[in-house]
Structure 1
Amino acid sequence: MSSAVTLIRSSSLSDVAEYAYAASAAVGSRLIFLAGACPLNEDGTTAAVGDYAGQAAKAVENMRIALADAGASINDVISTRVLVASSKQKDLGTAWEVVRAAFGDHDVPSTLMGVTVLGYHDQLVEIEAVAAVLDS
C-alpha cells in the first residue's frame, strides 16, 4: 500500500533539525487525529514514574496501539507534538530521543514543548499525533 504522507524538506532552513519541516497528505486520504498518547498502563496507573525516557517509550507504545485501532501505523503519522512536564531542556531532550528513535526514517514534523503539568498523576510525557491513510 502506498503512503498518504509525503515528508517535505526545506533547503532554505537549517538542517540541524532531526525531522522534516512539513508534511502533506494525499488527496482523498483519511485523516486520523489521535488524543494525546499518555504513559498509562492497562490498569490506568502511570508507567515509569519519574522516568522521562520510560514514560516516552510507554506513550509511543500506546500511540502505536491507538494508530493500529484506527487502521494506521507509525509510518502514517503526518505530525506530532511531544509535551514534557519540565522546564529543563535536558528532560525534553531525553523524551525526544525516545520518540525520535521510534519514528526512525519517518522523521515527521514535530513540536517539542515543555509544559507545567499534564493531566494524569505522575505524568511527565504525552504525545499528540495526526496520521493520514489511503483506504482501499
Structure 2
Amino acid sequence: MSKAVTLIRSDSLSDAAEYAYAATAPAEARLIFLAGSCPLTEDGATVGLGNYAAQAARCIENISTALAEAGASIEDVISTRVLVASTQQADLVTAWEVVRDAFGEHDAPSTLLGVTVLGYDDQLVEVEAVAAVRD
C-alpha cells in the first residue's frame, strides 16, 4: 500500500517548528479521524500519575493501536493536536518531546495546547490525530 500523506515544509516560515507546516492527501484517500487518545489502560485506569512524559507515551501507544485497527500506522497520520493540562510551558514541552520522538521522520503538522483540565481523573495529556490511507 503506497503512502497517501505528503508532508509540506516551507522555506519561507520559521524553521523553529519541529514538524511540517502542512500535509496533503489525495482525493481517493480514506480519512481516519481518531478520538482524543488518553493515557488509559485497557481497564480504564490513568497511567503515569503526575508524569507528563509517561502519559504522552501511553497516548501514543493507544493511538498506534487505534490506527492499526483502522488499517493505518503512525506514518499515515496527517495531523495531530496535543493537549496538556498545565499552565507551565515546560510541561507542554515534556509531553511534546515524547510525541515528536514517536513520530520520528514523519513529522506531521501538529498543534500543542495548554488547557485547564482534561476529561479523566489525573489526566494530564491527550493526543488527537487524523490519518489518511489508500486502500
TM-score by length of 2: 0.99
Aligned ranges for residues 60-99 of structure 1 at < 5 Å?
Answer: 60-99=60-99
1:63-110 C-alpha deviation (Å, 9 max, x unpaired): 000000111000000000000000100000000000000000000000
TM-score by length of 1: 0.98
Gaps of 5+ in 2: none
Segments ≥4 residues shifted beyond 3 Å: none
RMSD of the alignment, in Å?
Answer: 0.5
Letter of the aligned partner of 1:11 in structure 2? D
Letter of the aligned partner of 1:82 in structure 2? V
Q: State the secondary structure of the residue aligned to 1:13.
A: coil
State the match for 1:7 in structure 2.
Answer: 7
Q: State the secondary structure of the residue aligned to 2:97.
A: helix
Distance 1:94 1:9 in 2: 24
State the match for 1:34 in structure 2.
Answer: 34
Deviation at 1:27, TM superposition (A): 2.2
Gaps of 5+ in 1: none
Distance 2:123 2:37 in 1: 11
Deviation at 1:16, TM superposition (A): 1.0
Distance 1:43 1:33 in 2: 23
Letter of the aligned partner of 1:20 in structure 2? A
Aligned ranges for residues 44-123 of structure 1 at < 5 Å?
Answer: 44-123=44-123
Q: State the secondary structure of the residue aligned to 2:101.
A: helix
Paired residues, number: 135
Deviation at 1:2, TM superposition (A): 1.3
1:15-56 C-alpha deviation (Å, 9 max, x unpaired): 111100000012200000000000001110100110000000
Aligned-pair identity (%): 74
State the match for 1:125 in structure 2.
Answer: 125
Distance 1:27 1:4 in 2: 10
Letter of the aligned partner of 1:122 in structure 2? D
Q: State the secondary structure of the residue aligned to 1:45.
A: coil
